[in-house]
Amino acid sequence: MEVKEKVEEIYADEVGWMRMRWRTITIAVGVLVCFVSGTVEQSLARQTKAEQHVTSAKKGEKKVTKKISAVPSKKQTASTTQKSKVSKKNEKAPQEVKQEARAKKPEVRSARRPAKAKPEKRVVSRSQRRASARLTRRARRAPSRVVRLSEPVITKDYESMILADADNGRVLLAEEIDKQWPAASLTKMMVGLLALEDIDRERFSLRTPVVMSERATSARGRTIGLREGEEFPLGELLQAMLVTSANDASVAVAERIRGSVEACVAAMNRRAQQLGMSQTEFQTVNGMPLSDGSAGDFSSARDLVTLARALLRHDLVLEWTSHDKVPFRDGSQMLPNTNRLVGKVDGVNGLKTGFTSRARFNLVATAQRGSLSLIAVVLGGRSSRVRFQSAEQFLEWGFTNYHDQVVSSREKDTHGHGGQPVRAALRPSALP
């Protein structure tokens, strides 16, 4: 009995659950039917309204057509014909109106400005058009500046330049050679000249010990990491100063050869006057800007050729600056050469580079091929690449052109002068 009762309860529950499902389904279906019927009624109402509008529009068109198609009476036709005749009499032909307008316009123009005659159309043949096109093409191809084929084109990528013979100082190419320009690290060339001249006088030697001071170790810019109290031979510091442009080494050398930086600067200016460097003035020993950011050292392309020629009298200069790297600290450190032409351009064997934000990129380069030695100076280059490319271009031009002149003069002058070649014909514009 209990089992039957449980079965009946379960059956009753399932039946009730099924009834609930069917009720919900019927309610949902009824809602959907109502929604669909409402939308259908709305669409039907819209269609009926549209049909009513169309029918009303057709009726209006029929009424208009009936009114237009109505035949006028005889009186109306007579009146309309009379009116049309009068209007035709009063109206003028369009040609007459145009003629009257043309006749009136010149009178108005004469009061303001005389009428301009229309230019006649010019008939140009096909051959004439082709000839004019050729002329325009030639004008575009023509150079803005005529330069001799034997001379390189001088651009304005730098402030000044000079190419000179290192032996006699003859100027081969020049642009703004007396213009004052910040020397930057080219200032170290004068420090090197004073030190080498002192070594020649045996005041010092290449092995003279130099102790690093606080001022030397606190130098700004390009340095080689000298520490206070360290000791190096004078020759090693000179090599680092000229090859890799070490500012701390320059201060140490200046203090050793003259006792202080200020005394060395005074000696540098005196030596520049003795050499005739009229556009040169020094205030530092390494070319760094002053405390206010302004440039302290100035020179010119002509003066730097004079300084380079004085330095080249000392064989150690080319012995040092002709290497792409030099040893330092007993060979434990290799210092790179800032002159990228060394080892890359045939014959280049020195000398010095310089850079500051005010001076931009400076270069003094020396080269020798055979018995001919040249000096190229580029000041204020727009980039490091510009200064090196310009110097290479000028040196190549000098070796290809000036060398031919020297050979020809030697061939002419070898007879009657004891068999020795003479360059007297090339001396008129020699530098001091």
User: Is the confidence at residue 76, as pLDDT, over 60?
Assistant: no
62 carries an active-site annotation:
no
Listed by start position, the domains of the chain span: 160-426
Using a 10 angstrom Cβ sphere, with 0-12 exposed, 13-18 middle and 19 or more buried, the burial of residue 160 is buried
Active site residue: 160, 185, 299, 322, which one?
185
Mean pLDDT of 356-384: 94
CB 212 within 8 A of CB 232: yes
* CA–CA dist 264, 284 (Å, integer): 9
pLDDT of residue 194: 97
Instruction: Read off the pLDDT band of 136 (50, 70, 90).
Output: low
299 carries an active-site annotation:
no
Helix (H) or strand (E) holding 99: helix 94-112
Instruction: Read off the pLDDT band of 214 (50, 70, 90).
Output: very high
User: Is the confidence at residue 381, as pLDDT, over 50?
Assistant: yes
Fold of 160-426: Beta-lactamase (3.40.710)
Helices (H) and strands (E) in the chain, counts: 13, 11
pLDDT of residue 110: 45
pLDDT winner (highest mean) among 125-134, 219-228, 420-429: 219-228
Per DSSP, 247 falls in state H
The percentage of the chain sitting over the pLDDT mark of 70, rounded to a whole number, equals: 62
Active site residue: 160, 213, 245, 250, which one?
245
Active site residue: 160, 188, 300, 322, which one?
188
185 carries an active-site annotation:
yes
Instruction: Read off the pLDDT band of 426 (50, 70, 90).
Output: very low
Taking Cα atoms as reference points, which of 163, 156, 157, 167 lies closest to residue 177? 163
Please tell me the pTM assigned to this model.
0.61
